[in-house]
Structure 1
Amino acid sequence: MVVSRRKALVYLGVAGAPVAMRKVFAQGERVKVADLAGLVPLQPVSFSYPDEGSPAILLDMGRPTYMGVGPKKSIVAYSALCQHLGCPTAFDPKEKLLVCPCHISLYDPARGGICLEGPAISRLPRIVLEVAGGSVYAVGVAYGLIYGRASNA
């Protein structure tokens, strides 16, 4: 018996099912990252989250940005580890992109950390931020796993 692709999907229960984005959210310890007054647009702030072995990068994009926080909704943060092989990314202020120096995957911090090109196929995990009392705090990780981890906790 030959089963069509459509029937196989129906049998598996996935026909018509929406494609869901992997939203892995881990509420973590509240860690102060920066003071609002000290942030300069397009000048990255390096920090570690959710632990010392997990480099992250905070950016004030200077304009309202997808999932941005702060007075201008312009502040975002991501895991700095490339989703391809875990190399640490660096911010290119001219291109306004996070670039992996190992295999040149490019990520757009203004568009949710999506991968624009390169061998990586997943977006960078977003560090969930909170602004309170003139400071920016990291409070969790969303949208994917930090490279090399089984969980973001």
Structure 2
Amino acid sequence: MFSTGCVFNLSWLFRRDQQSDEDWADLQHLFFQPGRGIRSGRGQQTGLMFGVQFPVGSKASTGTLGPHGFVERGQEPEPPALVLNNGGGGGGEDEFQGTGSLWLWPLPPAGSLRLVSQWTDFGLEETSIMLDGGKLRDAAKAAQQYWPEEGSNHG
């Protein structure tokens, strides 16, 4: 938890069902190299997507800012902003697993925060959970500064 935003640590797992070896290889390519297209050129991929809706109605999705949420130095994105940072993964003949984190900025206001996920390439249609924005704000009050601000007196 941070004083201005929050991080959600995520993990996901996909188990092989009835896919042929060729289809499994295509799915492996999609799982570990999202955004690079399907090896055999079969169709359009959707990628793993997340979104949020604040209690006041404003929305953000992971596709808005591009990979890792890069914006020009010294500039803030239009709030709210949601960024997916992939952490890694692995897998083999029977399953793929991955991890990542979502950075949400700014902290949501008190009320119901809707967190949405979708990955249609892997059969996950849009699904969501509701979180309490007030509890996230309360947790952020306990955030502690580890490093002094730039330009402050270091003693």
- Please report the TM-score for the alignment, with normalisation by the length of structure 2: 0.31
- Please report the TM-score for the alignment, with normalisation by the length of structure 1: 0.32
**Higher relative contact order (CA closer than 8 Å, sequence separation 6+):** 2
- Larger proportion of helix: 2
